[in-house]
C-alpha cells in the first residue's frame, strides 16, 4: 500500500469535511467532526454505535444538512442541498438497505430515476433495450454474474441484490462511493464477493468510503481507517500498519492520535 | 451455511425453476387462463349461444364506466394505494356537468355547451382526485381513509348541488351520441373506454410515468432516494383516477340521460375487485392493464354465461367472490415464492 497517501501526504483530498456539527434536538450527533478521503483509495469509517457514523455519511451524501462546518470536494467548498446535489459532484451512496425496488428488474433498478428514453423525448417512452444493454455491460464490468437482468430484484439472492446496488453506484459515481455497512446482512461467500467488488471499484480510480463494524474486514480491504468517537474524528490509521487492537482502542477512547479540533 | 443454499440450486438446476417462477410471476397469466377456461366451459355447455357479438357488445357497453374507473384504480393500486371514491366521483362529475347543462339550454344544448360541460366534469374529477392525492402524499393520511373521506365529500356535494333529486335535462345531442351513437357500428361507450384502456395501458407499461408508478409502489423510499418526486407522482396518480371517474361520469350521463346519484354505491368495490382479479397486488409494485381489462370482464362474462346456462345468476356474486379470494391467495404465494433469501 505504498501508493496510498498518508494523512499528511501532498495529495489534495477528494472530499474533506471540516468541523461538522449536527444537533438532533438536544442530542449532539456530530461535534466538530472532520473527515478526509483521498483520490483512488478505500477509506474505512469506523466507530461504535452512536459515534456519529451515519450522521456523518448522511451529511456527506447530502441526505441531511449539518448545522455548521465546511465541506470541500476537490479542494473547493460545496453545499449539498440533497442527494441529487451530491450526485452532481460524482458522489453515490450504497445504502445499507440497498434502496432497490424489489418488483423491478435489475436493469430498471440500475436506471431508476435516470431512465433512458427513445422516440419523441417529451413522451418519456422507456428505451428498455438500451437500458438492458447498459445494465449487462455495467454488471460485466464489475464481473458480476446475474442469471437474468430481466428478473425482478426480489427473486435474486442477497449477494446478487447487493451487487445490483453496487453496480448502480459504480455506473454513475465518477468520484466517490459511500457504502454503508455493505456486508452486514450477508453470508461468508457473499461477503467476500462484496469486498471483491470494493477492490474492483478502487481499481477504476473511484474512492470508496466504507462504513463498517467488522474490524478484520476493514483491515482486509481498506487503505486507511478513520475513527469516529462521540461525534469527532479521534484517530487515523494506515490499514497495513494497524492492528485490530489499535482500532478498538481508538473506538473506545483508550487511544487517540488526533488532537482535538 | 444456510445462506449459501439459495445460490446452489439456481445454478445447478438450470432454468427450469426459473421459467416456472416467471410464469407464476406474470400477474395476468392466470387470469387469462381463468378467462379461457370460463369461455370454453360456457361454450361447450351451450354451443352457439355464448358470446355472440350482441352479448359481447352489450357487456362491453354496460361495463365501460367500470373499465374506465378500473384503469385509474390500477395505477392507484400499483402505488400500494386504494381509491374508494371512484363511484362517487363519477356521480359528482356527472352532476357538475348536468348542472351546467341545466343552466345552459338543457335538452336543446348545442355541441359547444356539451363540450364545456364535459370538460367541467373532467376537471372536477381531476381536481377532486388531486386533492385526495395531496391528502395521501403530503398529509400522510392512509389512502383508505383519504379516499373514504373523499367518498363522503363527493356524495355530499352531489346531493347538495342537486337538492337530492336527479338532474334529467341532459342535452339530447349527448344522449343520442353517447347513448345510441357510435363509430363504425361500435358504440361510443365502447370506443372511448377501450381507447382509454389502451392509451393508459401503454403509458403504464412503456413510459416513465408507469415505471415510477411501479417503483413507488415497490419501495417509495428507494424511489425518493433515486431522485423521483414521490409526492408529486402520487398526486398525479390520484388525479388520473379522478379524471377517469369523471370521464365515466360524463359517459354515464349520456348513456342514462340523467344523473344517477344513488346508483353507484358499490362501484368502488366492483372496480377494486376487477383490478385485483387482474393480478394487481394490494401491496403495490405489481399489476397490468391487460390483467385489469380481463378482470373487469370476468364477472360480466360469468353473469352472462350463468344466464345462458339457466343457472340462477346470483351465483355470479359467489363465484366472483371466490375468484377474488383466489387472486389474492395467488399473490401471497407468489410473494412467498420469490422471497427466497
Interface list for A 31-60 with B (CB within 8 A): none
Minimum mean pLDDT among A9-13, A34-38, B267-271: which range? A9-13
Residue A95: inside a domain: no
Rg (chain B; Cα; Å): 22
Q: What is the mean pLDDT of residues B62-72?
A: 91
Q: Residue ranges per domain, chain B? A: 29-40+50-332
Residue B147, CA distances (Å) to A67, B96, B126, B258 in order = 39, 19, 14, 25
CB contact under 8 A, A99 and B225: yes
Q: Can you give the pLDDT at residue A1?
A: 37
Q: Are residues A60 and A127 in the same domain?
A: no
Average per-residue pLDDT for chain B: 83
Among partner residues B6, B7, B227, which is closest to A84 by beta-carbon distance?
B227
> What mean pLDDT, rounded, does chain A reach?
82
Q: Looking at residue A261, what is its pLDDT?
A: 41
Q: B289-309 and B27-45 helices cross at what angle (nearest 10)? A: 20
Distance CA A143, CA A150 (A): 18
Contacts with A125 from chain B: Cβ below 8 Å: 206-207
A86 and A195, same structural domain? Answer: yes
User: Which residues, listed in sequence order, are joined to residue A22 by a DSSP beta bridge?
Assistant: A30
Give the mean model confidence (pLDDT) for residues A19-48.
Answer: 86
C-alpha cell at position B122: 373532467
How far is it, in rounded angstroms, from Cα A45 to Cα A34? 11
Instruction: Tell which of A98, A112, A164 to mutate to test the B interface (max B CBs under 10 Å).
Output: A112
- Asked if the Cβ–Cβ distance from A117 to B208 is below 8 Å, we say yes
What is each CA distance from B34 to B47, B140, B201, B298, B329, in whole angstroms? Answer: 19, 38, 21, 9, 15
CA distance B245 to B91: 9
Chains A and B form CB pairs within 8 A to the count of 96
Is residue A66 predicted with pLDDT exceeding 90? no
Position B44 scores a pLDDT of 79
- pLDDT tens, A80-89? 877 788 888 8
Give the per-residue pLDDT at A2. 38
Complex ipTM above 0.85?
A: no
Please indicate, yes or no, whether residues A166 and A198 belong to a single structural domain of this protein: no
Do the Cβ atoms of B6 and A157 come closer than 8 Å?
A: yes
Q: Is 0.90 topped by the overall pTM?
A: no
* One domain for residues A71 and A135: no
CA closest to B7 among chain A residues: A157
Q: What is the mean pLDDT of residues A80-105?
A: 84
- Specify the range with the lowest mean pLDDT, choosing from B23-32, B90-99, B106-115: B23-32
* Nearest one of B171, B157, B185 to B101, comparing CA atoms: B171
How confident is the model over A230-259, as pLDDT tens digits? 888 888 888 778 888 888 888 887 766 665
pLDDT in tens, B174-208: 888 887 777 777 788 888 999 999 999 999 999 99
CB count in 10 Å sphere of residue A24: 10
Q: How far is B201 from chain A (nearest CA, A)?
A: 13
CA dist B103 → B123, B167, B238 (Å): 18, 11, 30
Share of chain A above pLDDT 70, in %: 93
Residue A94's DSSP bridge partners are A179
- A205 inside 8 A of chain B by CB: no
CATH number at residue A27: 3.40.50.300
B211–A154: do the CB atoms touch at under 8 Å? Answer: no
Q: Residue B217: its chain A contacts at CB < 8 A?
A: 103
User: Which among B18, B206, B215 has CB closest to A112?
Assistant: B215
CB–CB contact B223 A187 (8 Å): no
- A105 and A80 within one domain: no
Q: Both A147 and A201 in a single domain?
A: no
| Residue whose cell numbers read 373506454 | B193
Between B41 and B235, residue with greater pLDDT: B235
> A104 vs B215: CB contact, 8 Å cut-off?
yes
Does some domain include residue A177?
no
Which chain A residues touch B339 with a CB distance below 8 Å? 154
Last residue within a domain, chosen from A124, A142, A172: A172
Residue A8: band (very low, low, confident or very high) from pLDDT cuts 50, 70, 90: low
What per-residue confidence (pLDDT) applies to B215?
Answer: 93
Burial string for B8-29 (b: 16+ CB within 10 Å, else e) reads eebeeeeeeeeeebbeebbbbe
- Which set of grid coordinates corresponds to residue B243? 379524471
Q: Are A40 and A238 in contact (CB under 8 A)?
A: no
**Element at A54 (helix H, strand E):** helix A53-60
pLDDT the model gives residue B58: 67
pLDDT at position A258 is 66
Scan residues 88-117 of A and list those with Cβ closer than 8 Å to B. 93, 95, 97-104, 108, 112-115, 117
Q: Single out the residue of B214, B93, B114, B213 nearest to residue B169, CA to CA.
A: B114
* CA-based nearest distance B280→chain A, Å: 12
- Which span out of A174-188, A195-209, B16-30, B50-64 was modeled with the highest average pLDDT? A195-209
Fold (CATH) for B29-40+50-332:
ABC transporter involved in vitamin B12 uptake, BtuC (1.10.3470)
Provide the residue range defining the domain that includes A161: 101-172
Say if the Cβ atoms of A125 and B206 lie within 8 Å: yes
Q: What is d(CA A30, CA A26) in angstroms, rounded to the nearest whole number?
A: 12
Residue A157: its pLDDT value, please? Answer: 77
Amino acid at each position: 500500500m505504498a501508493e496510498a497517501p498518508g494523512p499528511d501526504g501532498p495529495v489534495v483530498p477528494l472530499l474533506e469535511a471540516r468541523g461538522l456539527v449536527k444537533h438532533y434536538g438536544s442530542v449532539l450527533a456530530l461535534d466538530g467532526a472532520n473527515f478526509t478521503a483521498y483520490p483512488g483509495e478505500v477509506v474505512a469509517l469506523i466507530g461504535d454505535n452512536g459515534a456519529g457514523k451515519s450522521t456523518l455519511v448522511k451529511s456527506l451524501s447530502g441526505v441531511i444538512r449539518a448545522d455548521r462546518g465546511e465541506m470541500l470536494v476537490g479542494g473547493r467548498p460545496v453545499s449539498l442541498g440533497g442527494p441529487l446535489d451530491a450526485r452532481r459532484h460524482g458522489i453515490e451512496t450504497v445504502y445499507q438497505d440497498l434502496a432497490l425496488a424489489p418488483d423491478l428488474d435489475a436493469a430498471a433498478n440500475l436506471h431508476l430515476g435516470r431512465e433512458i428514453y427513445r422516440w419523441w423525448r417529451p413522451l418519456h417512452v422507456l428505451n428498455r433495450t438500451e437500458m438492458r444493454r447498459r445494465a449487462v455491460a455495467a454488471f460485466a464490468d464489475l464481473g458480476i454474474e446475474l442469471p437474468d437482468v430481466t428478473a425482478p430484484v426480489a427473486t435474486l439472492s442477497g449477494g446478487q441484490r447487493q451487487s445490483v446496488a453496487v453496480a448502480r453506484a459504480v455506473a454513475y459515481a465518477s468520484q466517490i462511493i459511500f457504502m454503508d455497512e455493505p456486508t452486514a446482512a450477508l453470508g461468508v461467500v457473499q461477503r467476500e464477493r462484496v469486498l471483491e467488488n470494493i477492490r474492483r471499484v478502487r481499481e477504476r480510480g473511484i474512492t470508496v468510503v466504507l462504513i463498517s463494524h467488522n474490524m478484520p474486514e476493514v483491515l482486509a480491504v481498506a487503505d486507511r481507517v478513520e475513527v469516529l468517537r462521540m461525534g469527532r474524528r479521534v484517530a487515523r490509521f494506515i490499514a497495513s500498519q494497524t492492528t485490530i487492537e489499535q482500532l478498538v482502542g481508538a473506538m473506545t477512547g483508550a487511544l487517540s492520535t488526533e488532537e482535538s479540533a | 451455511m444456510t445462506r449459501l443454499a439459495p445460490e446452489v440450486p439456481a445454478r445447478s438446476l438450470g432454468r427450469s425453476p426459473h421459467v416456472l417462477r416467471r410464469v407464476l410471476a406474470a400477474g395476468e397469466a392466470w387470469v387469462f387462463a381463468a378467462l379461457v377456461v370460463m369461455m370454453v366451459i360456457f361454450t361447450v355447455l351451450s354451443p352457439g349461444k355464448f358470446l355472440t357479438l350482441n352479448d359481447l357488445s352489450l357487456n362491453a357497453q354496460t361495463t365501460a364506466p367500470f373499465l374506465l374507473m378500473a384503469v385509474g384504480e390500477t395505477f392507484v393500486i400499483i402505488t400500494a394505494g386504494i381509491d374508494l371514491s371512484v363511484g362517487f366521483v363519477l356521480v359528482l362529475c356527472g352532476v357538475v356537468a348536468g348542472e351546467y347543462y341545466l343552466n345552459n339550454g338543457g335538452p336543446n344544448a348545442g355541441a359547444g355547451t356539451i363540450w364545456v360541460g364535459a370538460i367541467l366534469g373532467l376537471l372536477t374529477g381531476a381536481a377532486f382526485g388531486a386533492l385526495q392525492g395531496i391528502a395521501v402524499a403530503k398529509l400522510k393520511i392512509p389512502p383508505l381513509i383519504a379516499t373514504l373521506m373523499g367518498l363522503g365529500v363527493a356524495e355530499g356535494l352531489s346531493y347538495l348541488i342537486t337538492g337530492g333529486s336527479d338532474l334529467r335535462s341532459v342535452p339530447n345531442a349527448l344522449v343520442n351520441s353517447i347513448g345510441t351513437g357510435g363509430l363504425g357500428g361500435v358504440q361510443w361507450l365502447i370506443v372511448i373506454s377501450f381507447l382509454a384502456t389502451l392509451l393508459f395501458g401503454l403509458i403504464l407499461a412503456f413510459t416513465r410515468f408507469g415505471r415510477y408508478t411501479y417503483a413507488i409502489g415497490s419501495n417509495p423510499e428507494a424511489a425518493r432516494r433515486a431522485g423521483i418526486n414521490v409526492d408529486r407522482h402520487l398526486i398525479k396518480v390520484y388525479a388520473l383516477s379522478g379524471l377517469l371517474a369523471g370521464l365515466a361520469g360524463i359517459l354515464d350521463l349520456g348513456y342514462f340521460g340523467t344523473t344517477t346519484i344513488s346508483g353507484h354505491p358499490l362501484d368502488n368495490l366492483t372496480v377494486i375487485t376487477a383490478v385485483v382479479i387482474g393480478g394487481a397486488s394490494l401491496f403495490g409494485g405489481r399489476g397490468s392493464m391487460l390483467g385489469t381489462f380481463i378482470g373487469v370482464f370476468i364477472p360480466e362474462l360469468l353473469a352472462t354465461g350463468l344466464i345462458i346456462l339457466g343457472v340462477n345468476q346470483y351465483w355470479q356474486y359467489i363465484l366472483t367472490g371466490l375468484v377474488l379470494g383466489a387472486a389474492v391467495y395467488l399473490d401471497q404465494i407468489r410473494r412467498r415464492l420469490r422471497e427466497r433469501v
